[in-house]
């Protein structure tokens, strides 16, 4: 019983994870206030959550800041591309509906929106873990997301889950960012390990050539 409540016991470990998730959500919120920094703060969030899930040693605040700083440029470019593309899709959907161009064009916009959502789910976890160009981050997100549609679907389930959780208890908002990152990272861990190795090997071959 003494060992159960010690620092190596399950209650302490669970309490530590809960505290860290709350702290990470708070950090994500603070660093996302300028809006343009959401990409970098999301990447930093995934960086630390990834270490938690993999059981690696980490320093919560230093780790978050390290990833935020190192990935700021790429993450910001990705974020701006995502926002601009989402805006175009949104205006296209409104335009197609207003002009009554037919269901085919409307369905095409919806398909593109789902693809954008898949990219959003995968791209920041990828950037948080591996050194890749912006182009390769997008390429890998599209490839893995469409190859593993069941996993992508399970990842998307976090959004209605977060909505109902927030509707149930408004205080859960302090957990939402970290809950999202924890769920996504847990589901994608094995997939990213497999494909990232292949990508790194191909990049080495390209450099050698």
Q: Taking each helix axis as running N to C, give the angle between helix 176-208 and helix 134-147, from 0 to 180 degrees, rounded to the nearest 10.
A: 110
Coil, strand or helix at 161: helix
- Name the more confident of 38 and 17: 38
pLDDT, tens digit, 9 for 90 and up, residues 84-138: 999 999 888 887 776 666 677 778 888 999 999 999 999 999 999 988 899 999 9
Confidence band of 167 (pLDDT split at 50, 70, 90)? confident
| pLDDT over 90, % of the chain | 52
4 has pLDDT over 70: no
Place of tokens 């080495």: 204
| pLDDT over 70, % of the chain | 85
3 has pLDDT over 60: no
196 has pLDDT over 70: no
Q: Is the pTM of this model over 0.95?
A: no
Which string of b and e fits 8-33 if b means at least 16 CB within 10 Å?
eeeeeeeeeeeebbebbbebbeebbe
- Name the more confident of 174 and 128: 128
82: CB partners within 8 A, 6+ apart: 39, 116, 119, 120, 123
- Name the more confident of 193 and 183: 183
Mean pLDDT of 154-167: 89
């Amino acid at each position: 019983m003494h060992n159960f409540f010690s620092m190596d016991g399950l209650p302490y470990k669970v309490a530590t994870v809960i505290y860290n998730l709350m702290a990470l959500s708070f950090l994500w919120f603070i660093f996302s206030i300028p809006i343009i920094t959401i990409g970098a703060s999301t990447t930093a969030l995934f960086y630390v959550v990834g270490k938690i899930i993999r059981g690696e040693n980490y320093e919560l605040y230093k780790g978050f800041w390290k990833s935020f700083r190192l990935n700021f440029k790429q993450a910001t470019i990705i974020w701006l591309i995502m926002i601009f593309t989402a805006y175009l899709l949104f205006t296209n959907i409104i335009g197609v509906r207003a002009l009554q161009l037919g269901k085919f064009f409307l369905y095409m916009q919806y398909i593109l929106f789902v693809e954008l959502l898949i990219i959003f789910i995968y791209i920041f976890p990828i950037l948080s873990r591996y050194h890749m160009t912006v182009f390769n981050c997008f390429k890998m997100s599209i490839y893995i997301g469409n190859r593993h549609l069941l996993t992508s679907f399970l990842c998307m389930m976090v959004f209605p889950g977060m909505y109902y959780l927030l509707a149930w208890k408004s205080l859960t908002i302090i957990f939402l960012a970290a809950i999202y990152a924890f769920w996504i990272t847990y589901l994608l861990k094995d997939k990213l390990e497999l494909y990232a190795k292949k990508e790194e090997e191909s990049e080495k071959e390209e450099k050698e050539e």
